[in-house]
């Protein structure tokens, strides 16, 4: 081998080395950017007030579960703070409202999606447009009149009122998603069922629903997650008895002070169901977030 060829070989392996280092560096950067906030908040939630304020910030310390205990029993609240976040109640509220909202949307959404997927009728296009157009409206345009209406009819600060308001989040989404899953079922299967004497209900109950069960589960889980994330509707329409975790977590910021440790613990608890669920439905999240525009 000539010396020229050797140096060429060396240059090539050097280039490959630089490339690998760059890839490793970029990977680490991306991972740190994505994961570090979670790690840091988890650490913060395990710190005692003294460790919290230490300069420089501590990575190694004696962990304490005081902040989580305070979330559960409501102790350790600020000395001057008049508010006392009741986190177990907020968690329960989030569950009730999210499950209620998704259940209502699925019950109303399945027949509607079936109609949109399998029938042609006048105004079908207009209806599809109306459903889609909810995606454009700033929440405040709904929440102002809802606030006034709810005060008048007694839905303000009730689970039922919030479940109804959350239909703005879940109903168009549910119908749109279910329709896209229903449309994936080949028409031939439906026709065969009809020939075998199935009515429209039989087709829905015995063909469409069983075949799209995975799609329905995905829709339910994603709908639940969107409800869990909701913040601005309950901020205005809920009161202390009906706050979900998202509004509850912000209660740790009071006029006098911010309860950093408890807020960190609250954010971990509020994010936890989402972390678990998003890994369960990871293949479908993009589809859900674009209402079926990207599969």
Which strand (E) or helix (H) includes residue 169?
helix 159-183
Q: Does 8 sit near another protein (CB under 8 A)?
A: no
Binding residues for another protein, how many (CB under 8 A)?
86
Write out the binding residues for another protein, residues 43-102 only, by CB under 8 A. 44, 52-57
Near another protein by CB under 8 A: residue from 74, 200, 209, 240? 200
How far apart (Å, rounded) are the C-alpha atoms in residues 227 and 230? 5
Residue 82, helix vs strand vs coil:
coil
Choose between 1 and 138: whose C-beta lies nearer to another protein: 138
Between 158 and 200, name the residue whose CB sits nearer to another protein.
200
DSSP for 45-79? Answer: HT--HHHHT-SSPPSS-----HHHHHHHH--S--S
Q: Is 195 in the site for another protein (CB under 8 A)?
A: no
- Of 6 and 31, the one with the shorter C-beta distance to another protein is 31
Question: Under DSSP, is residue 258 helix (H, G, I), strand (E, B) or coil?
Answer: strand
- Rule CB under 8 A: is residue 108 a binding residue for another protein? yes
Cβ–Cβ contacts within 10 Å for residue 218, how many? 21
Q: Note whether 282 binds another protein by CB under 8 A.
A: yes
14 to 8, 9, 24, 239: CA distances (angstroms): 10, 8, 15, 64
- Is residue 138 within the footprint of another protein (CB under 8 A)? yes
Q: How far is the CB of 282 from another protein (least distance, A)?
A: 5
270 binds another protein (CB under 8 A): yes
Q: Which one of the spans 77-85, 143-151, 182-190, 205-213 is the region binding another protein (CB under 8 A)?
A: 143-151
* Residue 294 lies near another protein (rule: CB under 8 A): yes
Q: Is 112 in the site for another protein (CB under 8 A)?
A: yes
Q: Is 205 in the site for another protein (CB under 8 A)?
A: no
Give the x-and-dash track for 206-235 against another protein (CB under 8 A): -------------------x--xxxxx--x
Whether the Cβ atoms of residue 227 and residue 163 lie closer than 8 Å to each other: no
Binding of residue 144 to another protein (CB under 8 A): yes
Q: In whole angstroms, give the CA distance from residue 125 to residue 128.
A: 5
Question: Nearest to residue 156, comparing CAs of 246, 93, 236, 90?
Answer: 236
Q: Rule CB under 8 A: say whether 175 interacts with another protein.
A: yes
Matching residue, tokens 């019950």: 107
The phi and psi torsions of 253 (rounded to 5 degrees) equal -95, 110
Site string for another protein, 246-265 (x = CB under 8 A): x--xx---------x--xx-
d(CA 133, CA 78): 44
CB of 120 to another protein, least distance (A): 8
Binding-site member from 48, 81, 158, 167 for another protein (CB under 8 A): 167
If one counts every other C-beta atom within 10 angstroms of the C-beta of residue 225, the result is: 20
Q: Binding another protein by CB under 8 A: which of 6, 18, 92, 289? A: 289
């Amino acid at each position: 081998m000539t010396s020229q060829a050797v140096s060429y070989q060396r240059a090539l392996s050097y280039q490959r080395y630089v490339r690998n280092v760059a890839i490793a560096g970029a990977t680490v950067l991306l991972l740190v950017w994505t994961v570090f906030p979670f790690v840091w908040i988890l650490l913060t939630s395990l710190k005692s007030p003294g460790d919290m304020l230490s300069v420089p910030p501590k990575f190694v310390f004696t962990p304490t579960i005081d902040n989580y205990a305070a979330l559960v029993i409501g102790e350790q609240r600020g000395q001057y703070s008049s508010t006392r976040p009741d986190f177990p109640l907020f968690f329960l509220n989030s569950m009730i409202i999210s499950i209620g909202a998704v259940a209502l949307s699925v019950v109303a959404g399945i027949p509607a999606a079936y109609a949109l997927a399998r029938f042609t009728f006048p105004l079908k296009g207009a209806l599809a447009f109306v459903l889609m157009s909810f995606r454009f409206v700033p929440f405040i345009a709904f929440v102002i009149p809802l606030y006034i209406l709810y005060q008048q009819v007694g839905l303000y600060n009730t689970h039922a009122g919030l479940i109804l308001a959350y239909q703005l989040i879940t109903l168009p989404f549910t119908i749109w998603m279910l329709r896209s899953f229903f449309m994936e079922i080949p028409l031939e299967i439906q026709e065969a069922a009809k020939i075998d004497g199935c009515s429209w209900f039989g087709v829905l109950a015995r063909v469409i629903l069983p075949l799209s069960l995975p799609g329905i589960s995905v829709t339910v889980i994603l709908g639940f997650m969107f409800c869990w994330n909701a913040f601005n509707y309950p901020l205005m329409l809920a009161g202390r008895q009906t706050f979900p975790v998202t509004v509850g977590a912000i209660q740790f910021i009071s006029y006098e002070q911010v309860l950093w440790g408890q807020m960190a613990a609250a954010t971990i608890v509020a994010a936890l169901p989402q972390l678990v669920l998003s890994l369960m439905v990871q293949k479908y999240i993009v589809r859900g977030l674009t209402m079926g525009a990207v599969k």
